[in-house]
Amino acid sequence: MLTKRIIPCLDIKDGRTVKGVNFVDLRDAGDPVELAAIYAQEGADELVFLDISATEEKRKTLAELVYHVAETINIPFTVGGGISSVEDVDILLKNGADKVSINSSAVKRPELINELVAKFGSQCIVVAIDAKQIDEQWKVHLVGGKVPTEMDLFEWAKEVEQRGAGEILFTSMDHDGTKNGFANEALAKLSKLVNIPIIASGGAGSIPHFADTFKEGKADAALAASVFHFKEIEIKDLKNELKEEGIPVRI
Amino acid sequence: MKLVIIDYGAGNIQSIKFAIQRLGFEAVLSHDAEEIRQADKVIFPGVGEASSAMAKLRDTGLDKLIPTLKQPVLGICLGMQLMCKSSEEGNTKGLGIFDLDVVKFPNTVKVPQIGWNQITELQSDLFKGIPENSYIYLVHSFYSPKGEDTIAQSDYALPYSAALQKDNFYGVQFHPEKSSEVGSTILENFLTVI
């Protein structure tokens, strides 16, 4: 049976992890490769690296990081953050990334999705969507959720699917950082609307939140950062409890 | 042992190279017919779209070479699908090693299938030491149905071939290079047991 995926997300700046991590067994808390290896060992199903650096050397630094991650870990990983061209994606995939996620660049020029799918296949193209509820309507936001647009989350998700994306990573800006649970209502609606996998993001604070997003939110995967980095939730405990709840997970 | 990964411009072969390195072996990337023919073992990877990958094989003559190879050959993901008779994806004629037609998953399930699923009815030394119901990582929209060459099955909407074997040809739908310790053992079996 296909299992629900647990995905730790690592924020990267200039080749280093950004948010503090609370791993006593980590020799270098800022080394993404070492952290990735630990997550893989602890039972993470997949990893996401989100690059937030804005330097000119960004492309080269990220490619090098991807190369070292691919060299080290034996589970799949996605790379996102500022990817805006076929060439960007080509470099990351050649260095060993399994998937890339695009966000603002796809909103600005939706044909980019078609171009990437035609060249690399749907299986490696994830479209990340950040959205926030404004006057009862979910509006797509850009630049890490800072800039609102007039686009409707559900219309955009449908278009993203039609253009060939393999997966949607939906972050609710209303839930992100609150630790009050995922946006399950919107997630369930998304899951019903499109027939590609949905990764839930934003709001993870406790183990029951994950169970809820799989049960009520119908999510195919759940992504979180700080609860894993600060060891508030251990992946092993999380998976054991999900299994007890009757949710299929890889243990 | 001389190990060649067929490099025909389709997909992420860096990961396979790294997975082999982690097992303590070295692999050469090549599209040279002579080099491939002289290898002890050959890995035939592939991700992406079937008809364009097949076109790349035809351009380099590899479509003629691969079915004539005598050493163990392991097709991975799209590589395995291209070893079948045909694929519904892009209406593609395959290499015809396995007498099976690759078709798309029905839309009663999410397509592509992405994630970790289980393998059962394991019937080959490729799975030596691998328990039934072990988890492997897959990403695919098309699948090969079950047939007489099926050596492992998985279930998504219906039971389908997770692995195939005929004579010296092996194919796996999943990514052993991304399937944690289970995947490493399967790759190691291909390199040392087969």
Query: Looking at beta carbons, which residues of chain B come within 8 Å of A75?
Result: 137, 178-180
Q: E strands, A143-231, where?
A: 147-152, 167-172, 198-201, 221-224
Q: Please give the share of chain B, as a percent, with pLDDT higher than 70.
A: 99
pLDDT in tens, B35-50: 999 999 999 998 788 9
- Name the helix (H) or strand (E) containing B44: strand B41-44
Residue range B68-86: mean pLDDT, rounded: 97
To the question of pTM greater than 0.90 for the whole model, the response is yes
List, for residues A86-134, the tens digit of each pLDDT value. Answer: 999 999 999 999 999 999 999 999 999 999 998 888 999 999 999 999 9
**Looking at chain A, which residue has its C-alpha nearest residue B141?**
A123
Judging contacts by C-beta atoms under 8 Å, the chain A residues touching residue B19 are 74
What 3-state class would DSSP assign to A172?
A: strand
- Cβ-contact A5, B178 below 8 angstroms: no
Contact between A74 and B178 using a beta-carbon 8 Å cutoff: yes
Nearest CA-CA distance, residue B6 and chain A, Å = 15
Q: Do B132 and B93 form a contact (C-beta atoms < 8 A)? A: no
Per-residue confidence (pLDDT) for residue A25, from 0 to 100: 61
B177 to A93: CB separation less than 8 angstroms, yes or no: no
Confidence category of residue A24, pLDDT binned at 50, 70, 90: low
Listed in sequence order, the residues at least 6 apart from A193 whose beta carbon sits closer than 8 Å to its beta carbon are A154, A157, A158
- Rounded mean pLDDT of A4-20? 88
pLDDT at B32 over 70: yes
B98 touches chain A (CB under 8 A): no
Q: Are A98 and B15 inside 8 Å of each other by CB?
A: yes
Q: What single-letter amino acid sits at A24?
A: V
Question: CA triplet A91, A54, A228: central angle to 5 degrees?
Answer: 80
Strands B113-119 and B134-140: antiparallel
Q: What is the largest CA-CA distance in chain A?
A: 48
Q: State the pLDDT confidence band at A137, using cuts at 50, 70 and 90.
A: very high
The whole-angstrom distance between B70's CA and the closest CA on chain A is: 30
Mean pLDDT over A163-184 rounds to: 95
DSSP three-state, residue A11: strand
What are the backbone dihedrals phi and psi of residue B24, each rounded to the nearest 5 degrees, phi first? 90, 20
A179 pLDDT band, cuts 50/70/90, is very high
Rounded to whole angstroms, the Cα distance separating A121 from A103 reads 17
Told to judge if B84 belongs to the known catalytic residues of this protein, a careful annotator would answer: no
Phi, then psi, of A21 in degrees rounded to 5: -125, 155
Packed helices A32-42 and A58-72: angle between N→C axes, nearest 10 degrees: 30
Q: What's the rounded Cα separation, in Å, for the pair A223 and A8?
A: 6
**Could you say which of B31, B84, B140, B177 is catalytic?**
B177
Mean pLDDT of chain A: 93
Q: Is B88 a catalytic residue?
A: no
Residues on chain B touching A2 (C-beta within 8 angstroms): 113, 115-117, 156
pLDDT at residue A145, as a whole number: 78
pLDDT at A29: 67
In chain B, the residue whose alpha carbon lies closest to the alpha carbon of A92 is B12
Banded model confidence at residue A55, pLDDT cuts 50, 70, 90 = confident
The beta-carbon neighbor of B110 closest among A76, A97, A196 is A196
Closest CA to A25 of A15, A11, A35: A35
| Inter-chain touch A96–B115, beta carbons under 8 Å | no
Distance from CA of B23 to the nearest CA of A (A): 11
Peptide bond connecting A148 to the previous residue in cis, omega within 30 degrees of 0: no
Residue A26 has pLDDT above 90, yes or no: no
Q: Is A41 at the interface with chain B, CB within 8 A? A: no
Calpha distance A180→A183 (Å, rounded): 9
Q: Which two tokens stand for residue B147?
A: 């047939």
Please judge whether A196 and B12 are an interchain contact, meaning their C-beta atoms are less than 8 angstroms apart.
Answer: no
Q: How far is A135 from chain B (nearest CA, A)?
A: 31
Q: Chain-wide mean pLDDT for chain B?
A: 96
ipTM of the complex in this document: 0.95
pLDDT band at A18 (very low <50, low <70, confident <90, very high): confident
pLDDT at residue B110, rounded to an integer: 97
